[in-house]
Amino acid sequence: MTVMPRGVESMTLLRPAVPPHAPAAGDPAARWVPARALSRAVLLTGLLIIAAVFSGRVDLVVLAAPFALGTALALRHRPTRLPEVSVGTPDHLLAEGGEFVTTLSVGNADDVPYDLVVVRTTVGPWLRVRHSDRPYVAHAPRGAIADVTLDGEALRWGRHGIGPTVARAVACDGLLVSAPAVARRRELTVYPVTEPFEADDAMPRAAGLVGAHRSRRPGEGGELAGVRPFAPGDRLRRIDWRVTLRTRALHVAATLSDRDAEVVLLLDVLTEAGRSGGVHGAASVLDTTVRAAAGIAEHYLHRGDRVSLVEYGFRLRRLRPASGRRQYLTVLEWLLDVRPAPRGHVPAGYAFGRQLLPGNALIIVLTPLIDQRSAAMVARLARSGHFLIAVDTLPRTLTLPVSGAWGQVAHRLWLLERANTIGQLREHGIPVVTWGGAGSLDQVLRDVSRLAAAPKALLR
């Protein structure tokens, strides 16, 4: 008896397409059930025999004999074990727009061959399978493994699920059907496409002792700072012989030390806007933020700098600073878990300390500047004395769903308010740049470097 809730006169109970739990091989639920063909054969044989008994006709018994003998011979060897199903995912790195190949494997560990195996799986919405997600049929002899290959294209970054996968086997000439064997959901990791980014200007302030960036301080390096008279402690290989012969006094070439820098990428995920269309469609704010962060991190890590990431949203996530290819792969893994803040969430007062945002680091804030709290956060960081660059990640092709005359007026007012916020940030000395890929931050980095090298006024 089914208890119906109040206020509902009728309800259709739907059987789930995938059972929540797979029965174990030794469990009583792991059984083989009769198929409709077996029911029809038994029913037809019984009807013919009953009709022969009541009518006294022998020919009806002759007609029932093939059905009875065929069913008995087919059920002579009955399977006792369920098919074993597994899902194999590619082990190589997969980026947006890349081709993937996954394998659905069905094994027959029983002594009885299966007539056929029907396999069905579910795939994530951002995985385009060429042969769709319809059921697949494979042949699994005794002690063999049948593979079903699915290939397609990954349309968007993230962790996409393949499965759960359900397999049903048919044996004994189609008279028995197995209980469903279920393989757990597997994740297919798709990394974001790194947008091209190149920054040719120097860093505002170096943090380490050695590296690829030109420092403002003299020392061992490859950048020429000038020529000066020889002093005790100078190396002989630094002697500038042309100036020495001309002036008749020893002169050495002074160089600027090469140092590395620490770059902090601060991702503002308080607000998500736009609808993602994948790698071939329009980009949302989150898509632009993640792809820009991957491109900037790849550039600075390739040059030997240290890169760290901080997420500003409903949770405070941080990736420790490091350098090298291992850090780049860690950055990509970290970006896969970036999620926008839920609606109505009020972030606690984020007081970024010295551990999260060092004073010598270059902070690149990736923000759409939609929420006023984001603009206030950028202003607080600038007032604290950090070297800060705000990168506008609002896509230019983003169109908001407005309708009617009043909707268009509200949209224009919102654009004016946002432009006013950006103007206020620039008036307070905070550079705001629209993300444009390669070379989009060169001019801003050059201005920040000049401000860092300028003499500071001292209050007496």
Does some domain include residue 172?
yes
pLDDT for res 336: 93
- Asked whether 357 and 264 are in contact (CB, 8 A), the reply is yes
Q: Same structural domain for residues 135 and 165?
A: yes
pLDDT for res 348: 52
Does some domain include residue 113?
yes
Q: Which of 449, 455, 456 is nearest to 431 (CA)?
A: 449
Number of domains making up the chain: 4
Q: Same structural domain for residues 138 and 218?
A: no
pLDDT for res 407: 76
pLDDT for res 350: 56
Does some domain include residue 460?
no
CATH number reported for the structural domain that contains residue 427 in this entry = 3.40.50
Does some domain include residue 446?
yes
- Prediction pTM value: 0.72
pLDDT for res 260: 56
Q: Same structural domain for residues 60 and 174?
A: no
Q: Same structural domain for residues 447 and 324?
A: yes
Domain that holds residue 228: 214-259
Does some domain include residue 27?
no
Q: Same structural domain for residues 296 and 401?
A: yes
Domain end: 74, 100, 125, which one? 74
Q: Same structural domain for residues 234 and 305?
A: no
Does some domain include residue 284?
yes
One digit per residue, the tens of pLDDT, for the chain of length 460 reads 333 333 333 322 333 444 444 444 445 445 888 888 888 888 888 888 888 888 888 888 888 888 888 888 888 888 988 899 999 888 788 889 899 999 999 999 888 899 999 999 988 889 998 876 678 888 888 888 888 888 899 999 999 999 899 999 999 988 999 999 999 999 999 999 876 666 655 555 555 444 444 444 444 555 566 788 888 878 888 888 888 888 888 988 877 544 557 889 999 988 888 888 888 888 889 999 999 899 888 888 888 888 999 998 887 788 998 888 899 999 999 999 998 877 766 665 455 666 677 777 888 999 999 888 889 888 888 888 888 889 999 887 776 666 677 777 887 888 899 899 999 998 888 888 888 766 666 666 665 555 555 444 443 4
pLDDT for res 439: 61
Q: Same structural domain for residues 282 and 308?
A: yes
Q: What does the alpha-carbon distance between residue 219 and residue 254 come to, in Å, rounded to a whole number? A: 8
Q: Please state, as a whole number, how many other Cβ atoms lie within 10 Å of the Cβ of residue 61.
A: 14
Q: Same structural domain for residues 304 and 413?
A: yes
Does some domain include residue 205?
no
Tell me the three-class secondary structure of the chain, residue by residue.
CCCCCCCCCCCCCCCCCCCCCCCCCCCCCCCEEECHHHHHHHHHHHHHHHHHHHHCCCHHHHHHHHHHHHHHHHCCCCCCCCCEEEEECCCCCCECCCEEEEEEEEECCCCCCCCEEEEEEEECCCEEECCCCCCEEECCCCCCEEEEEEEEEECCCEEEEEEEEEEEEEECCCCEEECCEEECCEEEEEECCCCCCCCCCCCCCCCCCCCCEEEEEEEEEEEEEEEEECCCCCCHHHECHHHHHHHCCCEEEEEEEEECCEEEEEEECCCCCCCCCCCCCCCCHHHHHHHHHHHHHHHHHHCCCEEEEEEECCCEEEEEEECCHHHHHHHHHHHCCCCCCCCCCCCCCCCCCCCCCCCCCEEEEEECCCCHHHHHHHHHHHHCCCEEEEEECCCCCCCCCCCHHHHHHHHHHHHHHHHHHHHHHHHCCCCEEECCCCCCCHHHHHHHHHHHHCCCCCCC
Q: Same structural domain for residues 319 and 277?
A: yes
CATH number reported for the structural domain that contains residue 105 in this entry = 2.60.40.10
Domain end: 74, 99, 125, which one? 74
Q: Same structural domain for residues 334 and 310?
A: yes
Q: Is 243 exposed, middle or buried (0-12, 13-18, 19+ CB in 10 A)?
A: middle
Q: Same structural domain for residues 66 and 103?
A: no
Does some domain include residue 12?
no
| Bridge partners for 180 per DSSP | none
Q: Same structural domain for residues 296 and 400?
A: yes
